[in-house]
Amino acid sequence: MDIQENQQAVDISKPPYLHLISAFLAMEPPDVLISLARKCGGGLIGESIQGFIWNNYINTTVGDGGCQQGPYLKRVLKKLIGEIESDGGVVLDELYEHYAFIMTNLKGDNFSGGNSRVLKRISFLFPDECCELSSCPKSKKLEVSLHCSVNMLEGDTGCSIWPSSLFLSEFILSFPNIFSNRSCFEVGSGVGLVGICLAHVKASAVVLSDGDLSTLSNMRLNLESNLLSTRIDVPECKKDASTVQCVHLPWESATEIELQNFAPDIIVGADVIYDPLYLPHLVRVLTVLLKRGTSFPNHGSVRSEGCQPDSKCIRSEVQHADFEFDSSKGKAESCSAPCVEDKDDALERRPVAYIASVIRNIETFNYFLELTKEANLTVADITENSKPFDLLPYAKSYQRSTIRIFSISYN
């Protein structure tokens, strides 16, 4: 039977099929894919669903960097075939044949010819509620291609996609008015995902930095793969909306003059609060970047209440003082900051940093808080009152609830 005849007419631009293909492209774990495939098939992974998977992912992957995906496809097909057979279903010949091909050619997971990187495509899916946001594409989908490490535990952490970078990217896309027409600087940019999202919401300038040269090289590749021009280590940060600047910036050796030259309006970072040895250097970098005297107009604040992901209000500036940290207790204390509607006003604000992080070690995090207090920085947890839209509904391996986002400012 022709595989095309096995596939029922479906709308690939709508859930659950959109979620299934997005999960494949993002290389979600096999269990996630099986769950989504069953949802598409009403509980079973019949021939029509198998045909859909073949036509829309596996067959297209074979001719589009498929060698890099070999180990992943091996795990997925093994799980998929096993699930279908356990249900008493019929497995399409194409799936059997491709699995046999991978098993024959994949020896010791070296299918990629020694290449330890894979190509993941992260699809941000904009729900109807946020269609009025300036960051929402006409297709309601922003797809970002990223070359990243196979194993973040093998010393290649800078080329891995960390959960906090996904959360920070959702935050940027959900609150585009914070970042549009502002100069933005990222510390520890990794694969460049956050920078790509900053460019998408039309930041006036985007500077991405990292202390590892191989990470910086991979970052440039990702920027160019997403049709962004790049430049490296330009002495002065000239605002250029069409170019993303990549800077080699080890925190421990960055000079104050070097940092002052960037003069960003906004600093961002994801999962940078993890190593106690580097925290003093990170706090010093943040302090220099936040301490500059130039201020810029505040263009409104998002409401602290009533602006949840299911609302239809247009999101703008995030309120910075929703929570204050007690560094001795290591927890946030709530405060009653007033709600402010989106509107222009004459208030002036100094630069602000938005740092997304998973708190893996409370002692390390408390140490970070102590250092920021000594540096005259204010840390506020804005997670609960400034929740981003869930733009990655298919990414079940991504635990949004474990991530906090903090605003940091200089007193």
Tokens of 61: 């992957």
Tokens of 167: 């959360």
Distance CA 174, CA 178 (A): 10
Residue 403 confidence (pLDDT) above 80? yes
**Average of per-residue pLDDT across 140-161:** 81
Question: Which residue do the tokens 């050796």 mark?
Answer: 253
* Domains, the chain, with CATH or none: 3-105 (no CATH), 119-410 (3.40.50.150)
- Enter the pTM of the model: 0.84
Distance CA 100, CA 274 (A): 42
Identify the weakest region by mean pLDDT among 46-50, 340-344, 362-366: 340-344
Contact 254, 207 (CB under 8 A): no
Distance CA 150, CA 153 (A): 9
Residue 347 confidence (pLDDT) above 70? no
**Looking at residue 156, what is its pLDDT?**
66
When comparing pLDDT for 153 and 50, which is higher?
A: 50
Residue 195 confidence (pLDDT) above 70? yes
pLDDT, averaged across the chain:
82
When comparing pLDDT for 3 and 212, which is higher?
A: 212
Question: Which residue do the tokens 């039977």 mark?
Answer: 1
Identify the weakest region by mean pLDDT among 9-23, 192-206, 392-406: 9-23
Tell whether the torsion through CA atoms of 224, 230, 231 and 233 is positive or negative. Answer: negative
**Average of per-residue pLDDT across 252-281:** 96
Distance CA 27, CA 30 (A): 8
> How many C-beta atoms lie closer than 10 Å to residue 167's C-beta?
26
Residue 134 confidence (pLDDT) above 80? yes
Distance CA 367, CA 362 (A): 8
Contacts by 79-83, CB closer than 8 A, 24 or more apart: 79/30, 79/31, 79/33, 79/34, 80/30, 80/33, 80/34, 80/37, 80/45, 80/50, 80/53, 83/34, 83/45
310: which residues sit within 8 A by CB, 6+ positions away? 129
Identify the weakest region by mean pLDDT among 25-29, 213-217, 234-238: 234-238
Tokens of 154: 């093998």
Q: Model confidence over 275-323: pLDDT tens digits?
A: 999 999 999 999 999 997 544 444 333 333 333 333 333 333 343 333 3
Residue 174 confidence (pLDDT) above 70? yes
Tokens of 370: 């102590």
> How many C-beta atoms lie closer than 10 Å to residue 162's C-beta?
23
**Average of per-residue pLDDT across 236-251:** 76
Distance CA 143, CA 39 (A): 23
**Average of per-residue pLDDT across 122-132:** 89
Residue 170 confidence (pLDDT) above 80? yes
Nearest partner of 10 among 52, 50, 39, judged by Cα: 52
Contact 291, 410 (CB under 8 A): yes
Residue 318 carries which side chain, given as an amino acid letter? Answer: V
**Looking at residue 188, what is its pLDDT?**
96
Distance CA 347, CA 410 (A): 16
**Looking at residue 359, what is its pLDDT?**
95
SS3 breakdown of the chain: % helix, strand, coil, rounded to 5? 35, 20, 45
Tokens of 362: 């409370």
Tell whether the torsion through CA atoms of 257, 259, 261 and 265 is positive or negative. Answer: negative
**Looking at residue 242, what is its pLDDT?**
60
Band of residue 349 on the pLDDT scale cut at 50, 70, 90: low
Identify the weakest region by mean pLDDT among 10-24, 112-126, 191-205: 112-126
